[in-house]
Structure 1
Amino acid sequence: MRLVKVSTCSLNQWAMDFEGNLGRINESIRQARAAGSMLRVGPELEITGYGCDDHFLENDTSAHAWECLAEILSSDLTYGIVCDIGMPVVSDGVRYNCRVFCLDGKILLIRPKKFLANDGNYRELRWFAAWQHHNSVIEYKLPEIIWSKTSQKTVTFGDAYVSFLDTAVAVETCEELFTPSSPHIGLALNGVEIIVNGSGSHHQLRKLNTRIELMQGATHKAGGVYLYANQQGCDGARLYYDGCATVFVNGDMVVQGSQFSLADVEVLTACVDLDAVSTFRGSISSLREQASQHKFMPYVSVDFRLSRPDDSLLLFPTLPILPRYYLPEEEIALGPACWLWDYLRRCGATGYLLPLSGGADSSAVAAIVGSMCQLVIRAIEEGDEQVLNDAIRIGNYENGKVPKSAEEFANRIVFTVYMGSENSSAQTLNRAAQLASQIGASHMDLKIDKIVSALVSLFTSLTGKVPRYKVDGGSTAENLALQNLQARIRMVIAYMLASLLPWVKGKRGFFLVLGSANVDEGLRGYLTKYDCSSADLNPIGGISKQDLRSFLRWCANNLHYPILAEVVSAPPTAELEPIRENYSQTDEEDMGMTYEELSMYGRLRKIFHCGPVSMFKNLCHRWHGKLDPGQVAIKVKDFFRFYSINRHKMTTITPAYHAENYSPDDNRFDQRQFLYNTRWPWQFKKIDEIVERAAKRPVVTEEPTKAEEASKLASGMGVPAAASGNPLVGM
């Protein structure tokens, strides 16, 4: 039997942190060696960190990567173990995203990425070129920093694999797994038995199954061993890389790492049977026929064995396991919490300050911060020294004291404040206080009415006019101005407290202010510019209201914050207008559309790339039997009108955790202008023409079949309820 021990890993790398990244790479190699592995695979661009962005355009970045690799090669770490390391490499003035195979202090092969990720959150073509010379290689001259330490001056560079005495190993980097014609097929037909994938794949709700199914399908179709490594953690921006390193053999998962972890280094080891791969492939006639006809690929021959015949009776192949998936509610509890912890421990802050209104959104943020504290305590109890040291530093523990519970730790690093006004209710005041108590946060409540009155008096002294709320006979402009005034005052107070509370408490550092606008509100623009949505970080800015409601229900039981059950049952309201016997403000009435509808609009706009007319046609089909074309037209026009009116708000939106692929975040993810003709005259005219033609046809009402209803539910695009009320324009 050809049994081989292999290791893959998840590393919490940090963009441009060369010293820290090198330390984590070295530690992963040491752990792989200690486990007896003959092959170690690391994440994509692990030396520099994946999220360097325009730093990749700086020659210093590539130079420092070579310096780090030189340190690895000049040590004894790569002796007796093949190491696949990710870094940028410049060849003939062209920058490539590369995998570097190393063994015994030498470089065996540099393999550039052939297919780059360049949509959604990814801009690899901005910094790198894809290797266009498929099945071709060149001789690459290594920089002086390498040959001065290793005496090696050249290496094979290009689309090739490494052929050892007993097997062959090749690369498929991140995006290449997702492409229609993935390299792993050709590699398998060329006899490559082990395919490694160093990845930089971010977390997104319900995304993990896609990665796992692709690897499962790849090895089930063509056989082989597939090692997947991934970055883990926040490396400096909105994305959280969710780890979950895996090993597959012939369609079976044999190892799965943690998807959300506070650990800096996680190494997974499996024992794989290469004879099982050759047997699997040899038993499929069509695979044999295609392999016999396939074009040969270049390779680098290496006089080294990965298997050890003498150990065949001492080793046992790792047995298959079932994939593990989290519920979306668990993903929300874990992903943003890990992201917040990484940001907090790396930015120098000593805690978070959250304006807590007692509503669903800010309560969800509070629950995520509470989850973060629970994760920290759990990691400390499991013996993670790095987490313990970070917690002691951030929490200002002295004299040998350490965090003992999530609540006690939260009391030191989480501060919440309820900023009420005459328009606030006793219910939200009490809910905020109870939630803060259940989490363990230090909590304050204060009234902002005097500040509001002072600013209104200032305006009156300047103009002679007294603005009034709508319910008191005021105009829309007056009503909005008074609401926005309260919201912006809260932002100013939040930042004052974040700056000065550490001083009051006798602590070092500063607090980061957390925002709490969800992705649907950002899409609609239902937020005040420079209000409490303007913060340092927003952990729910990429999460839909529907998912947040489910999350709050889950938290009530699973995170042991029972007050959240009461929070989620209350109608969402900004509490910025006076409550009257015949009037109470609610978010959905203010917006003129429901949160369910907003999610629908967002997915059609971003994921399905619908403009006004195509969205109208799509919704006429989806809402057939519920709304007539005229009603659908009104809704679609309202959405695009308010979307375009408020698009400018996305230019200043708080950096948000990315979790939903219809995020309107203008900073990185959604590259659309912010100045629109908000009348959409051409598009809306086309909608009107379609409505007019439809009105002339006889109406045929058909009940949807059970199959159609099941299809809608399965796609998550079910029919939203109709909105009511008059839409208002936020400023």
Structure 2
Amino acid sequence: MHKYGFFRTACAVPKLKLADCQYNLRQMISLAEKAWDQGVEVLLFPELGITGYTCGDLFFQRELQKNAVKALDSLCQWSDGKKMLLVVGLPLAINGSLYNCSALLNDGKILGIVPKTYIPNHQEFYEKRWFASAKSLNQTEIPIGSQAVPIGTDLLFKHVHREEFVVAVEICEDLWVPISPGSFHALAGATVILNPSASNEVVGKSDYRRELIRSQSGRCNAAYLYASAGFGESTSDLVFGGNAMICERGILLKELPKFNLGNELLICDIDVESLNHDRQMQHGFGDSVDLLNNRFYRTITFETSGTNDFDREVNPQPFVPADPNRRSERCEEIFNIQTIGLATRLAHIGNAPMVVGISGGLDSTMALLVCVSVCDRFGIPREKIHAVTMPGFGTTDRTYDNAVALIKGLGASFHEISIVAACTAHFKDIGHPIDLHNVTYENSQARERTQILMDLSNKLGGIVIGTGDLSELALGWATYNGDHMSMYSVNASVPKTLIRYLVEWVADHSPEADIRKILYDVLATPVSPELLPPDADGKIAQKTEETVGPYELHDFFMYQMVRHGFSPEKVYFLACKAFDGVYHKAVIFKWLKNFYHRFFGQQFKRNCLPDGPKVGSVSFSPRGDWRMPSDAHATQWLKSLEKMEPIG
């Protein structure tokens, strides 16, 4: 998985016995063996896991201190020959002070010791009774057994083969301060931050803690592993729930439920390559380097064995939240962005009439619904929406009837202007046989429709509302200076897979049964430009996805390439995981090649797009998110794919 930038990480929550270092060592080794068998490369244990966190004044007992170090040495010996990074907590006495430390072990060596910086001493916490802050440490190295071990908060642990995989540690309370050590670690290059913790449970705390960890991973553009003490800690005054989380770039990947009985592993593959990509794009890291204030870091290398299997869910619809509640919230937010975007433009030009072409398909339906939303939100009569149906050679009864019923049902001004006579005359003018159904035949119809909308808009003093979506722009599936052009494009950064859920969301929330019925039928209609004549039964003969490929695949390809900058090999690998059992690998491979051909070849259309609101993380506005020369070549991307042979 290293070649794709994936590394297997895990949080371990062992069952423990307070002050029984040998018992705790056995539990740790048991979990570490399971982790090793499953290919884990970084394994994080809770804070002070060798002794337990709630030992109180027993921390001052020399017997406990000595046995903690012995247990550490035993764990280090166990790790000999195992290329896995282990992070374990213990108290260490140094120069007359006691420190709450995390030790990092790898292949039989103690690579480094990181002491806790911020020592909580408020409410239920009184750690300063026992532990000194790392700020008081005046050594950079300490002897442990026969080793001279680096110690400090200035340690970064870098993978020997993948330099972007850099690990750093902050301990429990370190995360809860205004500017945490982890923030400095990230600025210094750490892409993975580990937090061994002992955080007790009180009402409402877990929600705040989750958001704190999630937001820290987002701010630092890092993966964040959090493992908290659990079953076996003293419950005299507090309860520790054994919570564990793995976050990445603000997203909670996995979480171990609280109040487990211990000896639990939370395993997840993190994508360091995607983190590195985002850091390259966001210059906040470089611009914030002065915050390091002459902090200098020491780098220690480590090695891991890695794994060939893959333990991470890949969402086949990355633009669409899987959770229904989040999806509904997302749809509402996007619909509001589209509404406010169009309303602002209308207010700027004097609330001009809206002119929109309605085909009975998804995209034009979505655009019409946005226009209606603008009218209702801002007290504009719906009659100021001039909705135009323009039947042509390929129009079917189903889409025509839906278009007419929707326009009239929503109370927009209805216009029907056939393009058949105009296109027939145009074919005669340019000497094109009307029965030759080639690209000229198709594009002439699209341009005729656009001409009608533009000229009607001029007549009415209005503005043409574009209907095309993000997926069509990625593929160039639009007629240049036809449906490619408008005066404001409300769907320009909404992908096809999400448009469907948006229309469904509006339908579900519509109080009008007749409108709901029409919208549900639009959702059930095959995607088509309807530029070729219907079949013998009068049904749609030209189905877009049979020509360019399934939109759910292309939206997936687009997201992985544009949002994350992934290589063709990695996009293909992830697509095979996401669509396992849905599409044959050879089918995915075929449409991925088609995607790269079209994406590179159609940039000239994206370079002259009309205005439209950005709604998500991917946008092709030439004024904002995506700047690419029209004459860029896809050669290297296609060559990378040619090296791969789909198997199975």
* TM-score, normalised via structure 2 length: 0.48
* TM-score, normalised via structure 1 length: 0.43
> Which of the two has higher C-alpha Rg?
2
